[in-house]
Amino acid sequence: DHQGIGYLSLLMDERFESWLLQKKFSKISSIEEYIRELASLPQIDDQICWHSLSEGWLDDQEFGELYDLCRFESANKNINQPIDQVMLSLKNELGTEWRRHCYYFTKDEALIGISIPHIEMGTEDEGRLFYFGVVPSLRGQGLGVKIHKISLALLKNFRANYYVGSTDVNNSHMIKIFEKNGCELRDRKGIYKIIK
């Protein structure tokens, strides 16, 4: 295979699904995209603390390990890349100030999750989360809604006027988080893959 590339993955409008399937692509899943204006945000939970990686309390490796833990048994069906590749993508996409965008969250001094808010490349005010997650042992306790709400405030601090988030259609927990934090469904796309 060319330069070690073993497969090609596409995110595409599902209107083109039959054409893609004829071209030997297989469907992995579908994602739903949500949007929310950031002009006014609800009160955030003051029992949760957050720090950016740039503050130096955690090192890059510890953040990577926490990131890897948060994505363990995620409901998203994307292929999990090795964490080293994910961290490299993070640095490449967010640039030299990437640590300023990497947040970790604590409650009662225990690590509970991460979020990576940033302005989408090529836009001036579209807020995105490169990743957002809660440690597996604490899922189902409402912490995801609280961390996501704080992440929206962080995006506003980065001068985002609106937020766009997406998740696998089967990730009912994330869909509930979007809905509880005032996000509205905007679009749905398919994820397709072809193996060389």
Residue 114 has pLDDT above 90, yes or no: yes
pLDDT score recorded for residue 8: 77
H or E element at residue 176: helix 172-180
User: 3 falls in which pLDDT band (50, 70, 90)?
Assistant: low
Which tokens in the block code for residue 178?
């979007």
- Distance from C-alpha of 143 to C-alpha of 38, rounded to nearest angstrom: 20
| Residue 2 predicted with pLDDT over 60 | no
Other residues' Cβ atoms within 10 Å of the Cβ of residue 71? 18
Decide if 115 contacts 145 (C-beta within 8 A): no
Is-contact 29 169, C-beta < 8 A?
yes
Q: Tokens for 123?
A: 């836009």
Residue 1: predicted pLDDT: 43
What is the tens place of the pLDDT at every residue in 83-93? 899 899 999 99
Which pLDDT tens digit goes with each residue over 4-62? 666 777 888 888 899 989 988 988 889 999 999 999 988 887 899 999 999 999 999 99
For residue 110, the SS3 value is strand
Strand partners for 32: 167, 188
44 to each of 66, 77, 89, 119, 152, how far by Cα in Å? 23, 30, 30, 21, 10
Q: What is the mean pLDDT of residues 114-131?
A: 95
Task: Report the side by side order of strands in the sheet with 103-107.
Answer: 7-13, 184-195, 26-37, 162-168, 126-134, 110-119, 103-107, 48-52
d(C-alpha 83, C-alpha 106), whole Å: 21
Instruction: Please state the pTM of the whole predicted model.
Output: 0.86
pLDDT (0 to 100) of residue 106: 96
Handedness of CA 94, 54, 181, 108 (dihedral sign): positive
The rounded mean pLDDT for the chain is: 90
